[in-house]
Amino acid sequence: MIKKPDSLIHYYRLRAPEYEQIYYRDIPAKRKELADEGERLKGLVSRKTVLDLACGTGYWTEVISHTADFVVASDISAEMIGEARKKQYRRPPEFVRSDLYNPPFNAGAFDMVTLGFWFSHEPRQNYDGFLKILKPLVKTDGLIWMIDNNPPAEGPDLQSVGRDEYGNNYKQRFLDSGEEFAILKNYFSPDQLREILSPHFVVKSLIFNECYWSVILRGA
């Protein structure tokens, strides 16, 4: 029987020790897209002050640390931050345990905010409110970078278990222990992303590959 956690926090706390398996699966197309995006991100954050929101195990935090001047990595899960602290960083980040929806940072404190693999978990009914949280975190000319999955990144064995009244999609997830969960996981077309994001930001770049999409946003 599927166990639906009270929130994604519970699921990701349990998954923290095994989460990075997603980055190292032996699927050439996925690995290339991630590597290409990593190189692009290094250029974007060069000499910037960066907030890595929902940093998880620090995969993108480590990439950012290669070229950024200062990095803050924030996550609500102590287990995720514990995993992130194990990494070696060129420029060690400041780790902050905080709620994504109530970030404890001053307005305009960062040149750039990064957010990896979260937007697909954001409920559709919350999009406007969530995007309004992100915008004040960056300076007037600051940027927001996001990356997330397209369905081919997830493989054929993760089946949808239905939609709720808002149209949010739920997918099966399995931990190494065999525990099974249903978590909110939405997917987008390029047009849908532009429709959601454009009222709040200028979409400077939208890359839509087979396995992943990424965007660079600037305050509208």
Q: What is the pLDDT of residue 2?
A: 37
Within-domain flag for 79: yes
Q: Is 182 helix (H, G, I), strand (E, B) or coil?
A: strand
Distance, CA of 4 to CA of 148 (rounded, Å): 22
Within-domain flag for 63: yes
Q: What is the pLDDT of residues 4-22, one digit of tens each?
A: 445 688 889 999 999 888 7
Q: What is the pLDDT of residues 153-193, one digit of tens each?
A: 876 555 688 899 999 999 888 898 988 888 999 999 999 99
Q: What is the pLDDT of residues 129-152, one digit of tens each?
A: 999 999 999 999 999 999 999 988
Distance, CA of 27 to CA of 159 (rounded, Å): 20
Q: What is the pLDDT of residue 121?
A: 94
Q: What is the pLDDT of residues 103-127, one digit of tens each?
A: 999 999 999 999 999 999 999 999 9
Q: What is the pLDDT of residues 198-210, one digit of tens each?
A: 999 999 999 999 9
Q: What is the pLDDT of residues 20-74, one digit of tens each?
A: 887 777 778 888 999 999 999 999 999 999 999 999 999 999 999 999 999 999 9
Alpha carbons within 13 angstroms on the beta-carbon side of residue 207 total: 15
Helix (H), strand (E) counts: the chain: 6, 10
Q: What own/partner pairs with CB < 8 Å and gap ≥ 24 does 126-131 have? A: 127/196, 128/199, 128/200, 130/101, 131/196, 131/197, 131/200, 131/201
Q: What is the pLDDT of residue 155?
A: 61
Within-domain flag for 3: no
Tokens of 158: 């993760």
Range of the domain at 68: 8-219
Q: What is the pLDDT of residue 3?
A: 42
Residues counted in the chain? 220
Within-domain flag for 34: yes
Report yes or no: 212 and 190 within 8 Å, Cβ to Cβ: no
User: pTM of the predicted model, to two decimals?
Assistant: 0.93
> How many domains does the structure of the chain reveal?
1
> Has residue 213 got a pLDDT over 60?
yes
Within-domain flag for 2: no
Q: Is 174 helix (H, G, I), strand (E, B) or coil?
A: strand
Within-domain flag for 183: yes
CATH number of residue 19's parent domain: 3.40.50.150
Q: What is the pLDDT of residue 4?
A: 42
DSSP of 96-144, one letter per residue?
EE--TTS----TT-EEEEEEES-GGGS-GGGHHHHHHHHGGGEEEEEEE
Q: What is the pLDDT of residues 66-82, one digit of tens each?
A: 999 999 999 999 999 99
Instruction: For the beta carbon of residue 126, count every other beta carbon within 10 angstroms.
Output: 13
Tokens of 61: 């935090």
Q: What is the pLDDT of residue 212?
A: 95
Within-domain flag for 36: yes
Within-domain flag for 17: yes
Classify residue 57 by its DSSP letter.
T
